Amino acid sequence: MTGLLLLSALIGMTLIVVRGTIFRWLQQLWPALFGCSQCVGAWVGATAGASGLVSMGHGRIVDGVIVGAATSFLAMAADAVLLKLLGDPNEKTNSAAPAVASEEKKS
């Protein structure tokens, strides 16, 4: 149960860094890295595993790789699910959709 809670916390931290407005300055600093939940998830997980925060019992280097890979995949999946359910907050809503639909009908 503790492992699930720690993994959920790592995924939450990843999503806060990638999507949170509090880290907008960081996202603008390096958008290719800090706009990607899979990339940030790998680094958050690797840091947690290598620091000993999350221990799999295989040594810190191997723990960093395992936890980094798990956090990377699960953060990407969680981000995809949340984007599907809630939509992308960076997309323009409803203003461009009717124009695109009407142009497709003309073609």
pLDDT digits (tens, 9 = 90+) for 83-107: 889 887 767 665 544 544 545 555 5
What are the residues whose beta carbons fall under 8 Å from the beta carbon of 42, sequence distance 6 or more? Answer: 68, 69, 71, 72
The mean per-residue pLDDT over the stretch 64-84 comes to: 92
SS3 of the chain: the string is CHHHHHHHHHHHHHHHHHHCHHHHHHHHHCHHHHCCHHHHHHHHHHHHHHHCCCCCCCCHHHHHHHHHHHHHHHHHHHHHHHHHHHCCCCCCCCCCHHHHHHHHHHC
Query: Which of 57, 15, 52, 55 is closest to 37 using CA atoms?
Result: 15
pLDDT of residue 89: 72
CB 56 within 8 A of CB 50: no
Query: Which of 59, 78, 84 is closest to 7 using CA atoms?
Result: 78
Look at residue 1 and tell me whether its pLDDT is greater than 90: no
C-alpha 55 chain-centroid distance? 21
Report domain extents, the chain.
2-106
Round the average pLDDT of the chain to a whole number and report it.
84
What pTM, to 2 d.p., does this model score? 0.73
Look at residue 72 and tell me whether its pLDDT is greater than 70: yes
Look at residue 15 and tell me whether its pLDDT is greater than 60: yes
